[in-house]
Amino acid sequence: MDLQQIGVHHPKIKQLRSIQKNTAPNPKKLFIAEGLWAHNLLLNTDTHIDSFFWCPEAAYGNEAVKRSEEIAARAGRAYQISDKTLARISERDRPDGLISIAQLPLWDPIDVRFDRSALVMVADGMEIPGNLGTLVRTLDACNADCLVLTNRRTRLTHPKVFRASQGMILTMPVVEFDQPEDAVAWLQRNSFDVYLADANNAKNYRNYRYADRRTAFVLGSERYGIPKPWYEAGCESVSVPMLGSADSLNVSISAAVLLFEARAQKDHW
């Protein structure tokens, strides 16, 4: 491959480092994909690759070389970089020569279509990127239709979201609403039964019927729970009983228990 060689002062490298720093606004949802595993995921999905940076000296084997050609062919721009430049931009202990600026899919709520037994998770105010990523991976596993974010406090482009989701953030639809009220209205328009995951005095999650109807669960933030507008909208409350001495369940764990119960009922397991 004959690629333009660039160094640390090139504007595209500066853009990459700015995305890594995660401080400037990022409306196009650009994220950094690094390494062979992540690049295989990019190739297996129709992710838009904005720019690809290739460092042949750092590559481990033939697979990396082969993939680099496929990625360069698909990327909007492709550059060659030196070992030294790679060391400056890599966030891994042992970089393997493949690093890209790619774009998360942008989902508009009006583009998401639901069948009559759809399954959706809402996360309101979730703060920990790893929890968000794990949630996306669980949504993928139980074949949910989409993730809805309200009061978003962590970026989907955070590298921990990508990692914890095992890359499923590239395929699971994610729609965002600034205000819970807008999400409520959208869910009601789409005829969803909405259940607030609330540990206090709520009805046991096994005592609802989820089959043959659309189901949305709402998870609150790790610290503050579910904000008022959700309660004011007259949603049901649901709880996963905590039988032990700890006062709460990891939010990813509650989500998994709720989602798999709904899936099991919907699919008549």
Q: What does the binding site for a copy of itself look like in residue numbers (CB under 8 A)?
A: 134, 137-143, 166-168, 171-172, 204, 206-207, 240-246, 248-250, 252-253, 256-257, 260, 263-264, 269
Q: How far is the CB of 75 from a copy of itself (least distance, A)?
A: 23
Q: How far is the CB of 268 from a copy of itself (least distance, A)?
A: 9
Which residue, among 90, 26, 35, 81, has the nearest Cα to 55 in the 3D structure?
A: 81
Instruction: Judge residue 151's burial from the number of C-beta atoms within 10 Å of its C-beta, 0-12 exposed, 13-18 middle, 19 or more buried.
Output: buried
Amino acid letter, 128: I
Whose Cβ is closer to a copy of itself: residue 4's or residue 245's? Answer: 245
Beta carbons within 8 Å of 13's beta carbon, 6+ residues apart:
6, 7, 53, 81, 85, 89
229: three-class secondary structure by DSSP: helix
Q: How far is the CB of 260 from a copy of itself (least distance, A)?
A: 5
Whose Cβ is closer to a copy of itself: residue 168's or residue 175's? Answer: 168
Whose Cβ is closer to a copy of itself: residue 51's or residue 131's? Answer: 131
Beta carbons within 8 Å of 20's beta carbon, 6+ residues apart:
32, 89, 91
Q: How far is the CB of 37 from a copy of itself (least distance, A)?
A: 12
Q: Torsions phi, psi of 73, nearest 5?
A: -65, -30
What's the CA gap between 103 and 121, in Å, rounded?
A: 23
Whose Cβ is closer to a copy of itself: residue 122's or residue 251's? Answer: 251
Whose Cβ is closer to a copy of itself: residue 78's or residue 256's? Answer: 256
Q: How far is the CB of 113 from a copy of itself (least distance, A)?
A: 18
80: three-class secondary structure by DSSP: strand
Q: How far is the CB of 41 from a copy of itself (least distance, A)?
A: 10
Tokens coding 12: 């595209």
Whose Cβ is closer to a copy of itself: residue 90's or residue 138's? Answer: 138
